[in-house]
Structure 1
Amino acid sequence: MKNIKLIFSFVLLLAVTISCSIPDGIDQDTSFLSSAASANVSKVFNICTDNSGIVRISPTGEGVTSSKVIFGHGIGKDASAIVNPGSSASHTYPEGSYTVTIIYTDIAGNQTTSTYPLVVTFRAPENVVIKTSGEMKVSVSALYAKSFIVYYGDVANEVGTPLDLGKTLPAHTYPAPGSSPFVLKVVALSGGAATTTVNKTLYDLPIDFETPDVDIFAPFGSPISLFATVNNPNATGLNTSAKVGMFTKGGTTSGTLSAFNIPINFAYGKKIKVMVYNPTPANIGKNITLLLQAPVVAGQPAAGVAIKKVPITTSGAWEEIVFDYGTISAIPAGAKFGQLVMRFNDTQAGAQEVFYVDNFVQNN
């Protein structure tokens, strides 16, 4: 009898324990899950504007526990991604049109599939800057550019030279003087259909002043010399050009500096000839100095070696003055110089002395 009472008490205690393990108001009926479903599903496309092609895709919806984004581009594991609520997936697209598929899954495992059109368009590159240095080594920078194509402008039907971002093309040698000015063309590529084309006029010899953008004569010194493109003061005789350059002396060591995109190449001749008009008889016998600077090949002579002084011999008429660098044995045949300095009567202070120049040419 005592054992029967003990068994009955244990069963009663177990029943109480089980009943207390289920909180009030909660039962084990999960049939409602079959009717749970996601609603108001959509997406947000965040397309980067830097031509990277990166698109961030954010699925949205009520009751969604996860989403599978199928990008509509790429293969294997790169073609899709699983996204949790509140998160996003990023994918890099080429320019073009795509269909993005998103499969939304709710708490019950039900799925809703939606498709969305996506158009990725790259913007045209901006702020294209062309730099040339030394023996025409070209580099280019730009916003929103993926790469560039460079056209040197010295051959017919030229095939452009590709140039990557942050890189510099090797030296380029132009033909003999006489066929310039050359125009360097750069096409900046966006990575898509949009492109931007920029031209840069290149300066070397010969130089005349009929082209409005001839502005390479930069005055220097203290007091500074002046230089300007003006009407020909005496369009007769050797020079009937409409426009010429006017040099006004500043101080003893002042003058003009001309930086060339295409270096002066002595392989094409060691003589530089210049038309000169001197309006003042008192200037007869005074020297015009041409100093070649910025040698662009290692081991070439210092700039101070390549200097020639030639006197003015007449007044009131154009004359041709020849600067013959072939008489300087220290200059090798293939020497190249990146800039030319012109001075006048540079042992004297001067008093705003003026002369005119035109038609700088190079030959033998």
Structure 2
Amino acid sequence: MKNIKLIFNFILLLAVTTSCSIPDGIDYDASFLSSAASANVSKTFDISTDNSGKVIITPTGEGVTSSKILFGHGTGADASAVVSPGSSANHSYPEGSYTVTIIYTDIAGNQTTATYPLVVTYRAPENITIRTIGEMRVSVTASYAKSFLVYYGDVANEVGTPLAIGQVLPAHTYPASGSAPFVMKVVASSGGAATTTVTKTLFDLPIDFETPDVDIFTPFGSPISLFATVNNPNATGLNTSAKVGMFTKGGTTSGTLSAFNIPINFAYGKKIKVMVYNPNPANIGKNITLLLQAPVVAGQPAAGVAIKKVPITTSGAWEEIVFDYGTISAIPAGAKFGQLLMRFNDTQAGAQEVFYVDNFVQTN
């Protein structure tokens, strides 16, 4: 009897245990997975506009558990990426056309493959600025540029000099210039097909006023001097050119300052000749001052050393005035100066006094 009770209790316990091992409402039948599938698969491309070539690729779709992106560019581990739902992968492309392949995997392990065309186009560089420093050391800045080619404009059939972002080219020495300013050209590359070309007129000596963009005579002082390109008031004699520069005196220390892109190089001569027209006989004997400033080589003389004052000698006719810096022993033979300052009748009264200048020429 006792044994019968033990057997009965064992059977009852086994039944209770069996009934509790499968919770209510849970069905371990996984056969439905064989019919699960991803749907509405697609993607988004976020293509950068800064010419980096960076593209953010985001796979989308219903029922997708992971996606493998084949970029259509690159090798090895850099040619693909696996992302989870809602995630993205980044890849940098050169400019061109590509086919991106995405393999979508669903919960059952089924895969759907789709291909998408991708076109990466670089924008043309913008906001290009050419800077010339000292002895014509060139740097360039721009938006959306990857590199530059610099053409100095001083030789025929010139091959451009490569210039990297942030680089400053070594000093460049121009030959003694001719009758017109040199024109520098810079070609900015996007890194793709698009380029932008800009030019910069480089002023040095000689200077006349027939070129419309001669605007390097910047007035200064208080009251300020004035300077303008005007018609020749007396196109006879030594100077029959159509356009000349008109200087109007301001205060006692007023004048004009000319910053040259190409330094005045004394290797090409230590004299500067200037055509001058004085309409007022009262100005005869008053000095025109040319002061060379901003030596571009360390150790060269201070600005105040390279100063010459030459008087006006006539009125009513053009004359040539010579400023001979060769008489200043402190100036070395190879001196170069970046600025020319011009004044009239230094430290003396005479506001609104006028004279005209033309044909600034450097010579021996």
Paired position in structure 2 for 1:353: 353
State the Cα deviation string for residues 54-101 of structure 1 (Å, max 9, x = none): 000000000000000000000000000001000000000000000000
Shift of 1:35: 0.4
1:22 aligns with 2:29: no
Paired position in structure 1 for 2:159: 159
Q: Which amino acid aligns with 1:353?
A: E
1:263–1:337 contact (8 Å) kept in structure 2: yes
Paired position in structure 1 for 2:305: 305
Q: Which amino acid aligns with 2:272?
A: I
Shift of 1:303: 0.3
Shift of 1:351: 3.0
Q: Which amino acid aligns with 1:212?
A: P
Instruction: Indicate how the Cα distance of structure 1 residues 158 and 3 shifts in structure 2: closer, same or farther if over 3 A, else same.
Output: farther
1:69–1:102 contact (8 Å) kept in structure 2: yes
1:180–1:204 contact (8 Å) kept in structure 2: no
Paired with 2:186 and 2:7, the residues of 1 have a C-alpha distance of 98
Does the residue aligned with 2:77 lie in a helix, a strand or coil? helix
- What is the identity percentage for the equivalent residue pairs of Structure 1 and Structure 2? 88
Paired with 1:15 and 1:263, the residues of 2 have a C-alpha distance of 106
Does the residue aligned with 1:34 lie in a helix, a strand or coil? helix
Does the residue aligned with 1:26 lie in a helix, a strand or coil? coil
Paired position in structure 1 for 2:65: 65
Q: Which amino acid aligns with 1:81?
A: A
Deviates more, 1:324-333 or 1:127-136: 127-136
Instruction: Indicate how the Cα distance of structure 1 residues 179 and 233 shifts in structure 2: closer, same or farther if over 3 A, else same.
Output: closer
Shift of 1:24: 2.0
Paired position in structure 2 for 1:284: 284
1:106 aligns with 2:140: no
Paired with 2:59 and 2:35, the residues of 1 have a C-alpha distance of 22
Deviates more, 1:301-310 or 1:181-190: 181-190
Paired with 2:62 and 2:256, the residues of 1 have a C-alpha distance of 74
Paired with 1:234 and 1:28, the residues of 2 have a C-alpha distance of 109
1:253–1:346 contact (8 Å) kept in structure 2: yes
1:177–1:362 contact (8 Å) kept in structure 2: no
Shift of 1:165: 1.1
Paired with 1:208 and 1:25, the residues of 2 have a C-alpha distance of 99
1:180–1:205 contact (8 Å) kept in structure 2: no
Shift of 1:176: 1.1
Paired position in structure 1 for 2:10: 10
Paired with 2:286 and 2:75, the residues of 1 have a C-alpha distance of 78
Q: Which amino acid aligns with 1:101?
A: T
Paired with 1:11 and 1:213, the residues of 2 have a C-alpha distance of 111
State the Cα deviation string for residues 163-220 of structure 1 (Å, max 9, x = none): 1111211111101132541111111111111111111100000000000100000000
1:177–1:268 contact (8 Å) kept in structure 2: no
**Pairwise CA RMSD of aligned residues?**
1.1
Shift of 1:25: 2.5
Paired with 1:225 and 1:12, the residues of 2 have a C-alpha distance of 117
1:63-142 to structure 2, matched below 5 A, reads 63-142=63-142
Unaligned runs of 5+ in 2: none
Aligned length: 364
The TM-score normalised by the length of structure 2 is 0.98
Q: Which amino acid aligns with 1:238?
A: L
Paired with 2:288 and 2:203, the residues of 1 have a C-alpha distance of 22
Unaligned runs of 5+ in 1: none
Paired with 2:14 and 2:252, the residues of 1 have a C-alpha distance of 116
The TM-score normalised by the length of structure 1 is 0.98
Paired with 2:10 and 2:95, the residues of 1 have a C-alpha distance of 75
1:212-361 to structure 2, matched below 5 A, reads 212-361=212-361
Shift of 1:17: 2.3
State the Cα deviation string for residues 121-149 of structure 1 (Å, max 9, x = none): 01111111111110111111111111111
Deviates more, 1:102-111 or 1:184-193: 184-193
Paired with 2:157 and 2:18, the residues of 1 have a C-alpha distance of 92
Q: Which amino acid aligns with 2:96?
A: G
Instruction: Indicate how the Cα distance of structure 1 residues 281 and 13 shifts in structure 2: closer, same or farther if over 3 A, else same.
Output: same
Does the residue aligned with 1:19 lie in a helix, a strand or coil? helix
Paired with 1:231 and 1:4, the residues of 2 have a C-alpha distance of 135
Does the residue aligned with 1:73 lie in a helix, a strand or coil? coil
Shift of 1:349: 1.8
